[in-house]
Amino acid sequence: MAAMTPKRTPVPHVKPISEEPPSAFDAACSERLERLLEDLVPRESAEEQRKRAQVLATLSSIFREWVCSVCLSQGLPDDVANGAGGQVFTSGSYRLGLNERGMDIDTICVAPRFVTRVDFFDSLKVTPSWRPDGPCAAD
């Protein structure tokens, strides 16, 4: 019989100022702040957001193709190289949905364990000749 672990309830380090719902004044201030931010920090249009999504999809394809090429250069079989993967994750303001015009997209590239940082900094070269139909093309 497995031992039961006691349930733990997280305890905040700092007590909240208030646990009451926002007052009408709080809501009005929040609305004014949101309007001010819209004027000072314009959001991306739907078209600009689609373009960012396309850039991320292209980056992800390039990264997966590169992971495959590293695998092939290490002598791994084609099927292993093609299935090795490689993923690109977003973080920072983009991940939080704060899509301000012209902001960067913080990304994290995750490759299999046998693809090293040395491989990344020594062999990753993105050239205009990149094509999605190469030997390591994504599905």
Lowest mean pLDDT among 19-23, 54-58, 115-119: 115-119
Indicate the pTM of the whole model.
0.65
Domains of the chain: 46-123 (3.30.460.10)
Residue 87 pLDDT > 90? yes
Sequence-distant (6+) residues with CB within 8 A of 103 are 93, 94
Percent of the chain with pLDDT strictly greater than 90: 46
Burial of 132 (0-12, 13-18, 19+ CB in 10 A): exposed
Tens of pLDDT, residues 29-65: 999 998 998 888 888 888 999 999 999 999 999 999 9
